[in-house]
Amino acid sequence: MEIEPAGGRAASAAGRSQMSDAPGGAGLGSSGRTHSGAAGGSEPPRAGASGSPGVPCDADGDGYDAPACGGADCDDSDSSVHPGAWDTNAVAGDWWAEFVFGDIPGDTRGKTSIAVDRDGSLHVSEASEGLRYASNGGATRSYQMLDPLGRGAPSLALTPSGEPVIAYLVEDAVWIALHENGRWSLLPASGLEPANTARNGGGVELEIDANGRSHLVYVDANEAVRYARGADSAFRLEPRLGTSSALVPALALDPSGAPHLAFGIGDGNGRLVYATRCSSGFCQSDVATGPMKDVDIAIDITGGVHVLHAGSLLDAPIVHDILARDGSWSHQSFGADSVDAFSLAIAASSVKTESTLHVAWDGNAYARFEQNVWVRERTPWGGVGLSLAIEGAAVVHIGRTDFRFDVNTFVEHVTNRSVIKDGVDSNCDGVDGVDRDADGEASIQSGGTDCNDHDPSISSRLGSCSR
Ligand SMILES: [Ca+2]
Ligand SMILES: [Ca+2]
Ligand SMILES: [Ca+2]
Ligand SMILES: [Ca+2]
């Protein structure tokens, strides 16, 4: 992260621990840095090193060289095994749901943001009445109020080493909550102009590329969409996108780290705009017309661009917009049972698989695009303020808020995650599963026994797991 540290506030360490059924109240453990070659998956593939004569350096074509060539591919005959592969042993199974945190005063129904780490740990945030964060990584599940002044729809992203970063609003300013060396820092993002807090609960979207650089979009005080990138000590803000009356900006990065934006424009009859890099700035095109209620965007593993939108006209269904090579858009409607949804999300599988895309919207609706058809499923419970994260190929994590009429709002996690150890060390860290702290024991989340995979001095083998 490259954010100016001046003027930051220290995060309160007095977070309560109440996520689900976990006893104890430890925080997020110590540093949480990955050792080289594990979990982060951000190391650039090695190619072209010279090996033994007649033996190819990357025989399986997974982008990682064999050890004989100085590479880190522990099985150069299997392209699904390499240091950047997922090894959480998580597979898609039955759906289940859990309470994450509550105590949010009033019937706020804020938008959640969820991310899943390469070791299978979850990170969830919400900011309708203060920025709240929960994780099941580290020693125990943890829950913290990070910033009582935080508001709006926060956006949580993970650095290449798995550290959470959250963009959110304090009044009309974008702030960043940053987890490093075992503690949170709260920093005003410098280099930005004031944000519009009125629209969309104050939407801001953050993504972090493979080089650790932050990209964010938000709506400014003039209701224009703004894009900024973290550079050295500050964000560098680019010229306005869209004219005015912008809302619900969404952001995705393609494999090269280039930004792709989608946002609604509320003037006139309303329209949905797509923007991406061309020459020195952004090129824009209209995706669809009409007023927009919510928009999301995802890039699939082949680089295909997918937008999901909900129009705000009566009986407008949720529509999947697909960008063709010639720049035109085609559209797939989810039909009558997708109308009247206020929030939606689309995400792509990060490894080659039969199911490429996943969508979810208000209530309990979920669908995945599998072998050219949308397969619909119903998830347990039901909620709003959706966010979506995909673990590996087809394991789905949904963040949602739900409410007990005028009493309070709570955040839930809904997933089809099931752990089945496959006996294969897919990510070349020496064990089946993910051994983030390199103590020889895989994390509980990945089917192992290490109760704190952020701290090599704590593991079941060392007998230091008992609380
Ligand atoms: Ca391999
Ligand atoms: Ca495995
Ligand atoms: Ca492993
Ligand atoms: Ca470990």
Q: Work out the end-to-end distance of the chain between its first and last CA atoms, rounded to an integer number of angstroms.
A: 34
CA of 179 to the centre of ligand 4 (A): 20
Backbone angles phi, psi at 338, to 5 degrees: -115, 5
Residue pLDDT, tens place only, 376-401:
999 998 899 999 999 988 999 999 99
Distance from the alpha carbon of residue 425 to the mean position of ligand 4, in angstroms = 14
408-419: strand order across its sheet: 90-105, 408-419, 395-404, 373-391, 363-370, 355-361, 344-348
Tell me the DSSP string of 2-41: ----TT-EEPPS-----STT--S---S-S--PPPTTSS--
pLDDT score of 105? 87
CA of 447 to the centre of ligand 1 (A): 22
pLDDT at 49: 42
Q: State the ligand closest to the CA atom of 443.
A: 4
Distance 163 CA to ligand 1 centre (A): 26
* pLDDT value, residue 106: 83
DSSP letters for 261-295: EEEEE-STT-EEEEEEEETTEEEEEEEEES-EEEE
Q: Which pLDDT score is estimated for 321?
A: 97
**Which amino acid is present at 178?**
L
Give the dihedral of Cα atoms 39, 45, 51, 57; nearest 10 deg: 90
So what's the pLDDT on residue 14?
33
Q: How far apart are CA 308 and CA 30, in angstroms?
A: 38
Cβ–Cβ contacts within 10 Å for residue 465, how many?
Answer: 16
SS3 176: strand
Burial label, 381 (beta-carbon count in 10 A; 0-12, 13-18, 19+): middle
pLDDT value for 181? 84
Give the distance (Å) from ligand 3 centre to CA of residue 87.
5
- β-bridge mates for residue 330, sequence order: 322
| pLDDT band for position 108 (cuts 50, 70, 90) | confident
Distance, CA 446 to ligand 3 centroid (Å)?
Answer: 9
Would you state the torsion angle of the CA atoms of residues 96, 378, 410, 402, taken in this order, to the nearest 10 degrees? -160
CA distance 269 to 288: 11
Give me the pLDDT at residue 203, please.
77
Evaluate the CA torsion angle 338, 343, 347, 353 in order and state its sign: negative
Say if residues 1 and 178 touch (Cβ distance below 8 Å).
Answer: yes
- The whole-number pLDDT of residue 466 equals 67
pLDDT value at position 260? Answer: 98
**Alpha helices in 12-80, H assignment, sequence order:** none
273 Cα: distance to centroid of ligand 4 (angstroms)? 45
Q: Distance, CA 60 to ligand 1 centroid (Å)? A: 6
Compute the distance from residue 91 Cα to the ligand 2 centre, in Å. 11
Enter the pTM of the model.
0.86
- Distance from Cα 74 to the centre of ligand 1, integer Å: 6
Report how many helices (DSSP H) and strands (DSSP E) the chain contains, helices first. 0, 28
Compute the distance from residue 4 Cα to the ligand 3 centre, in Å. 36
CA of 429 to the centre of ligand 1 (A): 13
Q: How far is the CA of 255 from the centre of ligand 1 (A)?
A: 20
What local confidence, expressed as pLDDT, does residue 44 receive? 42
pLDDT tens digits for 69-88? 999 999 999 999 999 999 99
Query: CA Rg, the chain, in Å?
Result: 22
Separation of CA 428 and ligand 1 centre (Å): 9
CA pair distance 218, 176, nearest whole angstrom: 13
pLDDT tens, residue by residue, 240-295: 997 677 877 999 999 899 999 999 998 788 999 999 999 878 999 999 999 998 99
Beta-strand (E) ranges in 106-163?
112-116, 122-126, 131-135, 142-147, 151-158
User: Among candidates 133, 49, 93, which has minimal Cα distance to 399?
Assistant: 133
* DSSP string across 95-115: EEEEEEEEEEESS--PPEEEE
Q: Give the separation between CA 398 and CA 194, rounded to whole angstroms.
A: 31
Question: Residue 292 corresponds to which amino acid?
Answer: M
pLDDT mean across residues, the chain: 84
Q: Would you say how long the chain is, in residues?
A: 467
Q: Is 93 a residue whose pLDDT tops 50? A: yes
How far apart are the CA of 423 and the centre of ligand 2, in A? 5
Predicted confidence (pLDDT) per residue in 407-452, tens digit: 889 999 999 999 999 999 999 999 999 999 999 999 999 999 998 8
Nearest to 104 by CA among 408, 316, 361: 408
- Concatenate the DSSP letters of all residues of 404-463 into one string: ETTTEEEEEEEEEEEE---S--TTSSSSSS--TT-SS--BGGGTS-BS-TT-TT--TTTT
Ligand 2 centre distance from Cα of residue 412 (Å): 28
C-alpha–C-alpha distance, residues 228 and 218, integer Å: 9
Rounded to the nearest whole angstrom, what is the distance from the C-alpha of residue 129 to the centroid of ligand 2? 40
From the CA of 81, which ligand is nearest?
Answer: 1
Question: Quick check: 305 pLDDT over 90?
Answer: yes
Determine the pLDDT at residue 13. 35
Residues with CB under 5 A from ligand 1 (ion): 60, 62, 73, 75, 81-82
Q: What is the pLDDT of residues 328-376, one digit of tens each?
A: 999 999 998 899 888 999 999 988 877 789 999 998 999 999 988 999 9
- Indicate the SS3 state at residue 222: coil
∠ CA 313-315-317, rounded to 5°: 95
Give distance in angstroms: CA of 393 to centre of ligand 2: 14
Q: What are the residues facing 375 on neighbouring strands?
A: 368
Cα–ligand 4 centroid distance for 30 (angstroms) = 13
The pLDDT value given to residue 240:
92
Q: How far is the CA of 352 from the centre of ligand 1 (A)?
A: 14
Q: Where are the alpha helices (DSSP H) in 277-406?
A: none
Neighbouring residues of the ion ligand 2, judged by CB less than 5 Å: 87, 89, 422, 424, 426, 432
Residues in Cβ contact with 449 at an 8 Å cutoff, skipping those fewer than 6 apart: 441, 442, 459, 460, 461, 465
Domains of the chain: 119-124+131-361 (2.120.10.10)
Tell me how far the alpha carbon of residue 51 lies from the centroid of ligand 3, in angstroms. 25
CA distance 430 to 434: 9
Cα angle vertex 53, ends 51, 55, to 5°? 70
pLDDT tens-place string over residues 8-60: 454 443 333 333 333 333 333 333 222 333 333 344 444 444 445 566 899 99
Ligand number nearest CA of 45 is 1
Give 399 Cα–ligand 4 centroid separation in angstroms: 27
Alpha carbon of 79 to ligand 1 centroid (Å): 4
Read out DSSP for 236-261? EEPPPBSSSSEEEEEEEE-TT--EEE
